[in-house]
Structure 1
Amino acid sequence: MTQIYPTDREVLALTGEDAPSFLQGLVSADIAALADGSAAWAALLTPQGKWLADFFVVRDGDRLLLDVEAGQAAMISARLMRFRLRSKVAMAPAGLAVTLGWEGAPPAMGLAIDDPRTPEAGFRLLHEPGEGPAATADRDAWDRHRIALGLPDGSRDMEPEKSILLEAGFDELSGVSWTKGCWMGQELTARTKYRGLLKRRLCPVAVEGPLPAPGTPILDAEGAEAGEMRSGTDGIGLALLRLRAIAAGAALRAGDAVLTPRPPAWLTLPENMPPSVPPSMA
């Protein structure tokens, strides 16, 4: 049965003849390459290359729809419009709701798009409020699904003006383009990739014991710092871990809980990491 989760996310509409080129120079994904009815996962960074927000950009005819975290909608709109200058663009709430679905086909209603990160993630449905499909799942069910896949959930898993884009898998999950030309924060992001400067990654962990609160320090068997907890639910969580802690696959500790890294198949580690990487979480 298809799992259906109605979210509290918001949708912004970016209109005007310059909309694609305007957004192309500001976010990490290739907006110019978007076909009608398709989506890109994109991040908005500071000029210094630190994460501010991420969202899904959907090409819907002559407009671009931004599927954003509700609590960040006003900030995203204000930040983007700072750079409007003489560009012929406008941004306003689209008045649409967002419903997520997985383990089945989307219903024949609204605008259904495949999640651009990985096929296993499912689909996103943009529709008029009150006209979406009936819920069959709640946020905990969605969290279990997306965490097992290693998918971050915006500000629950990343810190504004601190997080580095590549820590969250944007490279492997098609959230960053290396060929489209300049965009805000590109320099630090590219330097991190090509100089091998990345030291930590968001990674799923199996949790035995009480679920650690976000921000809880994670220690290895010797008591050395190995990372910190992010979001989680029902025996599973995302943790920002040092690369060697992920590669070793050994049990870690956060408070009274024991954590075991379960990196997804798409997560790549440097070639000089130990070869014994545990299998993905089922």
Structure 2
Amino acid sequence: MPATHLVDRGVIRVSGEDARDFLQNLVTNDMDPVAPDQAGYGALLTPQGKIISDFLIVAIPEGEGGGFLLDAPLLQTADLMKRLKLYKLRSKVALDDLTEATAVIASSDGSALPEDAGLVYTDPRLPGLGQRAMTDRDGAAEIATVPAEDWHARRIGLGVPDGGRDFSYGDAFPHEALLDQLGGVSFRKGCYIGQEVVSRMQHRGTARTRVVPVVFSEGIAAETGAEAVAGGKPLGKVGSAANGRALALLRLDRVADALAAGEPLLGGGLAFTLAKPDFIRFPFPGEAGFGAAA
């Protein structure tokens, strides 16, 4: 079983009779489809629409106590718990940080995990990401032996951003982090924290900055955090990289201007081009409709 222990993930349990409604009123995704056989992907935002944390949402079968588990970035779990408690008010909800006892593992090649790996769920963002599981931390090392670098290389190759590497929590909007492309935002559900800003960006097409996959011409990627420029003007920054590919947070309107002027795109001094994956639906620079809904 080729699997990776994602040591940078934490786990928060949200339980109680109001758990579903509590999350529905807070997170960006629609909680209605989330069930034991269908995980969800969403985020908690600031009132200004910035991402506090994104996470996968896993429903616990009623026979195992019910409620939901949030597969969240480890460095965000403390702040996420604090924010959730702030919004709890009189809701009949219990919040527990299970990180110390629980590990998140992920298929490193997109294949299925064994049923006895723990609480197994399919990554809802993209089929190619395969399955994940929550299991006892003490035994995680025995069943997940593939280095994390291998899992991230697969993620980067698929074009899926990772918070803290490809965008900054507290600074990025959901559109910038591709949540709207990966099923992490519902534009049909009712209100949630930051919903007005997100809806405005969607309907006005004002998301000029996006995390996009890039390919370096020489097969060697720039370091994470390297500046991306064209014609001496800043485009953004390079994020996580592997095998000559990377994810970069770029101003796509500036990329379009550079391409129209024949100026090379450079990250850390290395030339790159944009590589559009199938799941991205908005037009890239040079495609028909770009500028209308970038």
TM-score (norm 2): 0.86
Secondary structure of 2:137 counterpart: coil
Q: Residue 52 in 1 paired to residue 58 in 2? A: no
CA deviation profile, 1:181-229 (whole Å, cap 9, x unmatched): 0000111101001001010211111233764343322112x33322211
Counterpart of 2:78 in structure 1 is 74
Q: Residue 217 in 1 paired to residue 223 in 2? A: no
1:69 positional shift? 1.1
Matched-pair contact (CA < 8 Å) for 2:31–2:40 = yes
Secondary structure of 2:106 counterpart: strand
Counterpart of 1:256 in structure 2 is 269
Aligned counterparts of 1:5 and 1:235: Cα–Cα separation in 2: 22
* Pairing partner for 2:113 from 90, 106, 114: 106
Segments of 5+ residues of structure 1 without an aligned counterpart are: 277-282
Q: Percent identity?
A: 36
More displaced stretch, 127-136 vs 159-168: 127-136
Q: Residue 125 in 1 paired to residue 133 in 2? A: yes
Aligned counterparts of 1:3 and 1:235: Cα–Cα separation in 2: 23
Residue identity matched to 2:5: P
More displaced stretch, 5-14 vs 124-133: 124-133
Counterpart of 2:24 in structure 1 is 24
Residue identity matched to 2:104: V
* Pairing partner for 2:198 from 185, 189, 193: 189
Matched-pair contact (CA < 8 Å) for 2:18–2:92 = yes
Q: Residue 83 in 1 paired to residue 87 in 2? A: yes
Secondary structure of 2:111 counterpart: coil
Aligned counterparts of 2:34 and 2:154: Cα–Cα separation in 1: 26
Matched-pair contact (CA < 8 Å) for 2:29–2:42 = yes
1:251 positional shift? 4.7
Residue identity matched to 2:137: P
Secondary structure of 1:274 counterpart: coil
Counterpart of 1:38 in structure 2 is 38
Aligned counterparts of 1:197 and 1:166: Cα–Cα separation in 2: 9
1:234 positional shift? 3.6
Secondary structure of 1:78 counterpart: helix
Aligned counterparts of 1:127 and 1:108: Cα–Cα separation in 2: 11
Aligned counterparts of 1:214 and 1:57: Cα–Cα separation in 2: 28
CA deviation profile, 1:10-66 (whole Å, cap 9, x unmatched): 211111111111111111011132122421111111001011110111000221101
1:98 positional shift? 0.6
Segments of 5+ residues of structure 2 without an aligned counterpart are: 289-294
1:106 positional shift? 1.1
Secondary structure of 1:260 counterpart: strand
Residue identity matched to 2:138: G
* Pairing partner for 2:242 from 226, 233, 236: 233
Residue identity matched to 1:86: R
More displaced stretch, 252-261 vs 26-35: 252-261
Residue identity matched to 2:276: P
Q: Residue 152 in 1 paired to residue 161 in 2? A: yes
Residue identity matched to 2:157: A
Instruction: Provide the aligned length of Structure 1 versus Structure 2.
Output: 274
Counterpart of 1:5 in structure 2 is 4
RMSD: 2.3
Residue identity matched to 1:7: L
Aligned counterparts of 1:234 and 1:209: Cα–Cα separation in 2: 7
Counterpart of 1:279 in structure 2 is none
1:246 positional shift? 7.1
Counterpart of 1:268 in structure 2 is 281
